[in-house]
């Protein structure tokens, strides 16, 4: 275990030069572009796309749990809201995917803030229970308001997104689309994490009394954390809707929230690579274990228990934040003087 | 006219307990004022009232002649009241420098849109912020340890780091809650130098809670003594040392004793 820790430490301490970064970036782009040609099996491509969706969802939930420090068990509410609003706008008004997504993302962000308002004073378990309630209420709303959401039947035939006249409909096209979204999300989270705003949010997360003593408005950061996470989840919900072509309340059940929380906790609370790792592992693992049929949930469960015993802070914990670029970039300049 | 902070009949009750009982306090700009008193006298509670952690049951607080009684804690910090904590409250997952950075108003005010869309532009401001924060670390003598985790520092250095962090909020008034607790004599001398530098060079007024009498008598211009939430005496160190009420309430016996004897 110590060897693994040392290895992780050395990996984290590596700093790349500009050229190495460029080469890495080109290799990454090459890999993404060639991936659909290498993976010819549509099923595997589908799993890869699902992994990407969950990676983004985990990042969005990590924004709420890991950065703004609010343990939410109702993430599916924001995710589903994004999916349903986009779908309704597209099927009812014939709007294109992109404006519909922008609208639903904005609306869900606002709604997330509203949800957060009454829970500002709650912490830990209490907040978890309340958010769990939000998730359930939302699912029941979807199931019962048949006139709007068609109830348990769901909404089928969601049109494909059109970008500059090109219709994204094949698995390959969706793969490129989701790869772009993942890159955007990671860049956003990284820059957010390295910004003064992100640092202030970490202070709020760790110690709100110290935060107020430093002039940080705790309420503002908690609300914005929820809004950002909610917006990101809604965006992914919209993507999920057009990708699947059909949505129903069962896709947004309570188990989905738990799955996302497991991904956050397993990967590492407040860590960007951790979120992606957790999402990929927990999405791919049940598929890989399919060969063991009835034993797969046992193996899956045992693995979670082992993880929690040996690495309770997650596979890739927050300590990677020591490489904060806000500090490093500015500090290198300080040393030159 | 040049008072920095003034309380008028400030009172706070927790249920039946009157923790701070109509305390009047006036501090002039540039003056080093100390609050002393036995354990549970209400010193830290008074600090919490001044910084807005608690709301007072009655009475008013004025900062720079402006009423701040109803302002929230973070608003008071922005006006220029900074503090340190008795039980150190540094951010555990951050390095020494980052702990000071997050207190800097320019770091907190950095717009998210700017730092996400064009971090290159934000970097110029960041350099200035880092430079300023490194200056503050130099004052407390921690500039060599900037990249260590805050909690890996020895206890005394953590207290100094809290002072640096307080200074980063650009305060006019700095409240130090037992800055010397857990420090050895050498570290206390260092602390004395730091406080002198803060008051004389940086023109920041300092209000101190401290138990070490030698330290308090050496550094204070004026002392206020609290006991059971009430102000029982006020005056220069020499006056306080001979005040019979203080000796009775705070020191118990008839003569002045060192901290070790308590």
- Shortest CB distance from A213 goes to which of B77, B111, B116? B77
Residue A7 lies in a domain: no
- Shortest CB distance from A210 goes to which of B89, B109, B122? B89
Write the CATH number for A317. 1.10.3470
Are B24 and B9 in contact by the 8 Å Cβ rule? The answer is yes
pLDDT mean values, one per 10 residues, chain B (262 residues) = 83 86 86 86 87 86 86 87 88 84 84 78 81 86 81 86 90 88 85 88 88 85 87 85 78 53 46
Secondary structure (3-state) at A167: strand
Q: Which residue has the tokens 């130099």?
A: B138
- The DSSP bridge pattern shows strands B173-177 and A162-163 to be unpaired
Query: Is the pLDDT at A107 greater than 90, yes or no?
Result: yes
| For testing contact with chain B, the best of A68, A193, A196, A211 (most B CBs within 10 A) | A196
Q: How many domains does chain A have?
A: 1
Using pLDDT thresholds of 50, 70 and 90, give the confidence band for residue A53.
very high
Residue A6 lies in a domain: no
Q: At what angle do helices A254-267 and A42-62 cross, to 10 degrees?
A: 80
Query: Is the pLDDT at A326 greater than 80, yes or no?
Result: no
Q: pLDDT of A219-240, one tens digit each?
A: 888 889 889 999 999 999 999 9
Residue A10 lies in a domain: no
As a CATH number, domain B3-261 is 3.40.50.300
| Structural domain harbouring A97 | 16-336
Q: Given an 8 Å threshold on Cβ–Cβ distance, is B107 in contact with A214?
A: no
Residue A268 lies in a domain: yes
Are A196 and B110 in contact by the 8 Å Cβ rule? The answer is yes
Put simply, whether A216 touches B (Cβ < 8 Å) is yes
Distance set, CA B38 to CA A140, B11, B188, B210, B227 (Å): 59, 19, 21, 10, 7
Chain A positions in Cβ-Cβ contact with residue B73 (cut-off 8 Å): 212-213
Residue A206 CB partners (closer than 8 Å, separation 6+): A69, B91, B92, B93
Residue A4 lies in a domain: no
Q: pLDDT of A1-42, one tens digit each?
A: 567 667 766 766 666 677 888 888 888 888 888 888 887 788
Put simply, whether B93 touches A (Cβ < 8 Å) is yes
Q: Given an 8 Å threshold on Cβ–Cβ distance, is B126 in contact with A330?
A: yes
Chain B positions in Cβ-Cβ contact with residue A211 (cut-off 8 Å): 74
pLDDT at A104: 92
Residue A285 lies in a domain: yes
Q: Given an 8 Å threshold on Cβ–Cβ distance, is A327 in contact with B105?
A: no
Report which of B198, B146, B203, B155 is spatially closest to residue B176, judged by C-alpha positions: B198
Write down the pTM of the prediction: 0.84
Residue A191 lies in a domain: yes
pLDDT at A56: 92
Whole-complex ipTM? 0.83
DSSP state of B32: E
């Amino acid at each position: 275990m110590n060897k693994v820790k040392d290895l992780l430490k050395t990996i984290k301490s590596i700093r790349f030069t500009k050229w190495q970064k460029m080469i890495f970036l080109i290799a990454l782009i090459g890999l993404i572009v060639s991936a659909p040609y290498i993976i010819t099996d549509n099923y595997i491509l589908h799993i890869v796309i699902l992994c990407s969706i969950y990676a983004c969802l985990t990042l969005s939930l990590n924004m709420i749990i890991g950065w703004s420090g609010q343990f939410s068990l109702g993430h599916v509410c924001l995710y589903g809201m994004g999916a349903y609003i986009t779908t309704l706008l597209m099927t009812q008004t014939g709007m294109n995917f992109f404006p519909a997504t922008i609208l639903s993302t904005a609306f869900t962000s606002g709604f997330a803030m509203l949800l957060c308002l009454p829970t500002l004073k709650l912490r830990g378990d209490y907040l978890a229970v309340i958010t769990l309630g939000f998730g359930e209420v939302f699912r029941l709303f979807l199931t019962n308001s048949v006139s709007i959401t068609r109830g348990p039947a769901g909404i089928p035939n969601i049109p494909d997104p059109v970008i500059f006249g090109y219709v994204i409909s094949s698995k390959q096209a969706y793969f490129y689309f989701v790869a772009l979204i993942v890159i955007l999300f990671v860049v956003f989270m990284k820059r957010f994490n390295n910004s003064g705003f992100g640092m202030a949010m970490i202070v709020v997360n760790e110690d709100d009394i110290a935060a107020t003593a430093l002039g940080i408005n705790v309420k503002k950061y908690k609300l914005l954390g929820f809004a950002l996470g909610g917006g990101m989840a809604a965006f992914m919900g919209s993507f999920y809707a057009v990708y699947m072509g059909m949505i129903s309340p069962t896709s947004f059940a309570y188990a989905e929230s738990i799955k996302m929380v497991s991904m956050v906790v397993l990967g590492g609370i407040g860590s960007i690579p951790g979120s992606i790792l957790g999402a990929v592992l927990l999405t791919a693992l049940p598929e890989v274990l399919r060969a063991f049929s009835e034993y797969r949930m046992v193996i899956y469960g045992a693995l979670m228990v082992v993880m929690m015993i040996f690495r309770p802070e997650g596979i890739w914990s927050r300590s990677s934040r020591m490489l904060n670029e806000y500090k490093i970039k500015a500090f290198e300049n300080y040393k030159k003087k | 006219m040049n008072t920095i902070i003034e309380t008028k009949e400030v009172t706070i009750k927790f249920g039946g307990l009157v923790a701070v009982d109509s305390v009047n306090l006036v501090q002039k700009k540039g003056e080093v004022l100390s609050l002393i008193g036995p354990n549970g006298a209400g010193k830290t509670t008074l600090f919490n009232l001044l910084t807005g952690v608690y709301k007072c049951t009655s009475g008013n607080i004025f900062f720079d002649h402006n009423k701040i009684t109803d302002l929230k804690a973070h608003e008071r910090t922005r006006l220029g009241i900074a503090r340190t904590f008795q039980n150190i409250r540094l951010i555990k997952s951050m390095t020494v420098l980052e702990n000071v950075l997050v207190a800097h108003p320019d770091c907190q005010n950095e717009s998210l849109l700017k730092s996400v869309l064009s971090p290159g532009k934000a970097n110029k401001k960041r350099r200035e912020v880092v430079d300023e924060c490194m200056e503050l670390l130099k004052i407390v003598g921690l500039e060599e340890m900037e990249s260590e985790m805050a909690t890996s520092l020895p206890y005394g250095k953590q207290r100094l780091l809290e002072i640096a962090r307080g200074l980063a909020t650009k305060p006019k008034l700095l409240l130090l809650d037992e800055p010397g607790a857990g420090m050895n004599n050498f570290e206390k001398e260092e602390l004395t130098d730091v406080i002198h530098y803060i008051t004389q060079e940086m023109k920041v007024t300092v209000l101190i809670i401290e138990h070490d009498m030698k330290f308090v008598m050496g550094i204070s211009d004026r002392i206020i003594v609290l006991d059971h939430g009430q102000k029982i005496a006020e005056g220069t160190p020499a006056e306080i040392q001979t005040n019979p009420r203080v000796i009775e309430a705070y020191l118990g016996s008839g003569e002045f004793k060192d901290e070790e004897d308590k």
